[in-house]
Structures are given as C-alpha cells and as structure tokens.
Structure 1
Amino acid sequence: MFIGHALLAFALAALVADWRGWERREALLVGAIAGAFATIPDIDVTYALVGLLEWQAADGALAASTAFWDASRGVHRSVTHSLVVGAVAAPAFGAFAIRGPHSGRVRLVRSVGAGLLVLLVAVAFLEGGPVAAFVMALFTVSGVLVAIGAARVTTLSASTVVLAALWGLWSHPWGDLATGSPPEWLYPFESTLLSTRVVLHADPTLHLLGAFAIELAAIWLALVTICRLTDRSLPAFVDRRAAVGAAYGVAALAVTPPTLEVSYHFVFSILGVGLLCGAVRDPTSPIRPGLRSRIRSRPSIDSTLEIALTAVTAVTVALAAYAVVYLFAAPA
C-alpha cells in the first residue's frame, strides 16, 4: 500500500482543489505535496532493516522478507500513524514552509513548530522507549524536509502546506485496514476504534485480490486525475498490448493461491506482467492518432503516461482474469 497511500492523497487533494476553482497547476502541486506527506508515516519501516542483520543469505529471499516484516511489527503503524500525532505534526511542519525574511515573527513560529516536533519525540520516548523515539524523529525530520521543499519549489502558502500535510497524514492510516493490523489511531492514548482488520472475504485469496484491487483503484484515480487536470484523453494513452494481461489468468491454475501471509509470488508476477506490457513498445500500433508525434516532442510527460497507463491497464486485466479463473476454474 506504499504507493496507494501517496496516490490516493494526491488524487483527492488535487480534485478538491480543482473543484474549489484553483488553477490546475496549483491543484496538481497541492496534490503532490499531500501525496508526499502521505508517504511519511511509513518511515517507521526503516527500523525493520535491523531484521535483515539477522538474516542469512542461505535462508533465501523469502526468509529475508519475513525477517524484515517481523522486525517491523514492534513499531509499524504505531507512533507515526496516529491521527493525534498528525494533528500536532501538520501545523508544526507548516511552520517550516513560511517564506520571507527571517523576522522575529518567522523565527518564533518556527521555534514553536520545532518545539512541537521535539515534544512528539519526547512523548514517543516516554511511551515506547528509544526505538519509538527514533522512528518519531525520522518522521519529524522527513516532514520538515517535505515542508521546506514545498516552500522552495512552489508558491503555495504555509497554511496550504498545513492542510496538505494534515490530509496526507490523516488519509494514510485508512489504507492499512484491509492489509494488516489496524494502526494505533489515537496514540499515545488508548483506543478501540477499528481494532481489527477489515475482512473483505472469508476466502483469504479473495481477500487479497480485493485488497489488491483497492490499491489498483487508488492508482487509477491518480491517473484519471492527472489526465483530467492536464486535458489529456486517458483512453488515447492505453496501448492494445495491455490485453496481454488476460493470459495471466492461467496462473490461478499453476501456482499456490496467494494470501496476505504469502503473496510475494502473486504480487511480483502480476506487476511483472504490467511492467512488461508497459515497457515493450509496438511501433506499428494504430492506436493514439497523432499521439506519437506528441510523445517525441514531450517524452517526459506523454511517453511516461503511456507506459504507466498501459502497465496499469495490463495489471487490471490480469487481476480480473486471475479472479475469474480462480472463482470458476481453479481446483478447490
């Protein structure tokens, strides 16, 4: 869900800004900032790298991933995923997005923002010890860097950055409800709000397919948003080679059904299908009249968008084919 968090926050923030009458470039910028902030809570998986120190190469790649996620369980979706922490951190981050001369007022606001972030680290230390404090420190530093970057490369006000940060941080935890243990919503306070995973289907494989479809829907929403706000036709960028993804349905007959606990073979293979369909070009394709000349003139935008849309379409077709075969043809 790492990508889905960012793209969902980006798409909804950009669409709301466009709906409110913002210039489309600014709407895309505020969406991008919200998306950047939405990735920050997952900085807590950095601590999981310690799990790799205990992994031996002879154990295999699956053992490496298991060691990584086992080490992450102590801190993942805890201190950085809290709505309370987000409410405190967002205005603190915004303090570092203020432009202008370093007047006494600006220094005071930034000092207050820094004080709030130090307070978050101190609370994490008191509640969870040095590991929690370390993770919170990474979280605060990352947020400050995003805020400073937003101030340098955009003309958005500090208050807009605060809103983008708040939306990014608050939207993040909801994406984890179907894929893992729920976050600690009100950390450092106790809460029973949505304390168990949302089960999409009793069959663990169908649950995984549903969770994957949610992630895919977030990606589609972001791509639709980009096309809408840049006046591009989405269908014109989808190459017919995406239909090759239908062949992935046979995987339901050939491999062990995936679940949340063991999903690597499914995720990597279906993404591989998408990457292959997106990267391999067909110079004789009759689709997208007039688009090829535009791609040559603007390869950084149109060409990338064509690859992305063709790849995501291929993954969508592959997911649908796999689900149909699994439901109606796979052995019980």
Structure 2
Amino acid sequence: MFVGHALLAFAVAALVADWRGWDRRPALLVGAVAGAFAAVPDIDVAYALVGLLEWQALGGDLGAPAAFWGASRAVHRSVTHSLVVGAVAAPAFGLLAVRGRSARSRASHLAGIALLGALVAVALIWDGPLAAFVMILFVASGILVSRGIAWLSTLPPTTVALAALWGLWSHPWGDLVTGSPPDWLFPFGPPLLESRVILHPDPTLHLLGAFAVELATIAFAIAVAYRVTDRSILASVDRRAAVGAVYGVAALAVTPPTLEVSYHFVFSILGVGLLCGVVQDSYWRPFRARDRLLPSVDAIFETGLTTVAAVAVALVAYATVYLFVTPA
C-alpha cells in the first residue's frame, strides 16, 4: 500500500488544483507535494530493520520478510498515523517551507521546529522511547520534504501546509484492509477500530479485493495525470494489456495467496504487468545531447497505463479461475 498512499494524495490534490483552474505545472507540483507527505508516515517501518538484524544474529527459523514485518508490528501505524499528529505537523512543515534568510523566515523555522519538537516530547511521555524514536524519523522526513520544496519550488508555505495536511490525513485510510488499524487519535485515545476491515471471509478473496483497491488507486492517479496534461487515456491503452489474461492459470498452479503470504502473488502479477507495459518498439528514443537512449514522455505514460491495464486483466483472470475453476 506504500505507493497507493502517495498516489491517492497526488491524484486528489492535483485534481482539485486543476478544477480550480491552476496551470498544468503547479497542479502537478502540488499533487506531488501532497504525495510526498502522504508517504512520510510509513517511515516507521524503518524500525523493522531491527527485525532483520535480530533474525541474522539469532538465526531464527523465520524468513527475512517474516522477520521484517514481525518487527514492524511494534510501531507501524502508530504515532505517525495519527490525525492529531498530522494536524500539528502539517502547519509546522508549512512554516519550514518558508524561503529566505530574513528574521521573519528564521522565526517561522523556529516555530516549526518547536511544534515538531513538541510532538517528539509527547510521543516520549505518552508511549516511551521507541515511539519517540519513530516520531523523530517522521519529523526528520517531513523536514527534508519541506526544505526540498522550499529549495526547488515557489509554492507558498500555506499551500505546502494544506498539501501536507491532506497527505498526512489521507494516509491512514488506506491501511484499513491490509493490516492493524492505525492509531488515529494518538495521544488522546486507543484506535477507533480493533481489527482490519474484512472485505470477504475467504482470506484469498480478501487479498484480491485489497489488491484491487490499490490498483484502482493507481489507475485513478494515472487518469488524473492524463487529464491535467491534456492527454487521451483511451488512445494510450495498448492491446498488449490483454496478454495479462494468461495469468489466470496461476490460480491452478500456486498456493492461494493471503495477506500473511502474498509475495509470490504480488511479485508475479506485477511482473506480468511490467512485461506487457515495457516491451514495445517505441519505448526508447535517442537523447541526442548525450547520445543515450531515454524513454519519451508519451512512452512513459503509455507504459504506465498499459502496465496497470495488464495487471487489472490478470487480476480479473486470476479471480475468475479461483472462484469458478479451483476446487473448494
């Protein structure tokens, strides 16, 4: 879901900017800023590297992926996913996006640092050193994004703050069907939900539904990018996407995936999509200035759209075979 968080925030922010009459570049830019901030809460999975270190040190029976995600459960979707934290962090990140070295800009930066420092202190007092460490990672990542925006763009700090707020607040909703519920109200209360939202009692169909939600989010982001850049989405879908239908046979050949064991399904279906999207004669064009080959912008758009379409076809084919052909 990591990609989906960022793309959902990008798509909605860019679509709203386009609806309000913004030009193409600033609309895409504010969408990219929202997407960057939407990715920041998942910095908490960095702690899961501890799981890999312990796994290597102890030589446990678990595989590396299981060790990684096992360690992540201690902190993932906790303090960094709080709507309360986002409400405080977003204006702080906006203050840190103020450009210049005047006394006013320095005061804005100090105010932003103070707000973010308060979040670290709250995490330490309410939830201990581990929560404070994760909050420091969150704060540092947000500062890096804010200062990068100030350096690379001319977006007003208020716009950055609003984009940050949307990105941080949109993030937790994507986790409702894939894992433990986020700690939405930290530090004021426990999670609103005690378990994930179940799309279907069959664990494989639940995974396929969650994957479909993620895929729809990616398709939505691509459609917004096509709209903002005035491209025709129907003209860009290549018929190679239909090759994804052959993936249906995988339902007969491999162990049905679940949220707990899904790597074989995810990597294989994405591989089919990438093969359908990238393999084309017109993908590369000469880049004369450096005498190198680079993909054209139109080819990148076509590749992304065809890849998503192929994965969608593969998902429908797999689900159809799983429902109607495989034994109960």
Matched residue type, 2:315: L
Counting only pairs closer than 5 Å after superposition, residues 96-245 of structure 1 correspond to structure 2 as 96-100=96-100, 102-245=101-244
Structure 2 match to 1:65: 65
TM-superposed deviation, 1:314:
0.8
Q: For each residue in 1:84-118, what CA deviation from the matched residue of structure 2 results, as whole angstroms up to 9, or x when unmatched?
A: 00000000011111123x22222222111101111
Deviates more, 1:18-27 or 1:312-321: 18-27
Structure 2 match to 1:327: 323
Output the CA distance in 2 between the equivalents of 1:39 and 1:322: 30
Partner secondary structure for residue 54 of structure 1:
helix
Query: Which 5+ residue runs of structure 1 have no aligned equivalent?
Result: 284-291
Matched residue type, 2:203: P
Matched residue type, 2:323: L
Structure 1 match to 2:291: none
Instruction: Report if the CA contact (8 A) 1:8-1:218 is conserved.
Output: yes
Partner secondary structure for residue 55 of structure 2:
coil
Matched residue type, 2:47: Y
Matched residue type, 2:99: R
Output the CA distance in 2 between the equivalents of 1:278 and 1:324: 23
Output the CA distance in 2 between the equivalents of 1:293 and 1:165: 35
Output the CA distance in 2 between the equivalents of 1:60 and 1:212: 30
Structure 2 match to 1:287: none
Output the CA distance in 1 between the equivalents of 2:61 and 2:86: 35
Output the CA distance in 2 between the equivalents of 1:321 and 1:293: 27
Output the CA distance in 2 between the equivalents of 1:62 and 1:241: 39
Q: For each residue in 1:108-153, what CA deviation from the matched residue of structure 2 results, as whole angstroms up to 9, or x when unmatched?
A: 2211110111111111112222221111111111101111111222
Quick one: which of 301, 306, 309 aligns to 2:305? 309
Structure 2 match to 1:286: none
Output the CA distance in 2 between the equivalents of 1:175 and 1:296: 40
Deviates more, 1:90-99 or 1:119-128: 119-128
Output the CA distance in 2 between the equivalents of 1:181 and 1:330: 30
Output the CA distance in 2 between the equivalents of 1:259 and 1:148: 40
TM-superposed deviation, 1:196:
2.3
TM-score by length of 1: 0.92
Partner secondary structure for residue 120 of structure 2:
helix
Instruction: Report if the CA contact (8 A) 2:181-2:191 is conserved.
Output: no
Instruction: Report if the CA contact (8 A) 2:284-2:296 is conserved.
Output: no
Output the CA distance in 2 between the equivalents of 1:104 and 1:319: 56
Counting only pairs closer than 5 Å after superposition, residues 28-43 of structure 1 correspond to structure 2 as 28-43=28-43
Counting only pairs closer than 5 Å after superposition, residues 49-64 of structure 1 correspond to structure 2 as 49-56=49-56, 63-64=63-64
Instruction: Report if the CA contact (8 A) 2:44-2:134 is conserved.
Output: yes
TM-superposed deviation, 1:54:
2.1
Matched residue type, 2:274: L
Q: How many residues align?
A: 322
- The two structures, once aligned, show a CA RMSD in angstroms of 2.0
Instruction: Report if the CA contact (8 A) 1:295-1:302 is conserved.
Output: no
TM-superposed deviation, 1:60:
10
Deviates more, 1:110-119 or 1:156-165: 110-119
Query: Which 5+ residue runs of structure 2 have no aligned equivalent?
Result: 288-293
Output the CA distance in 1 between the equivalents of 2:69 and 2:37: 23
Output the CA distance in 2 between the equivalents of 1:296 and 1:229: 27
Partner secondary structure for residue 155 of structure 1:
coil
Partner secondary structure for residue 197 of structure 1:
coil
Q: Percent identity?
A: 70
TM-score by length of 2: 0.93
Instruction: Report if the CA contact (8 A) 1:253-1:331 is conserved.
Output: no
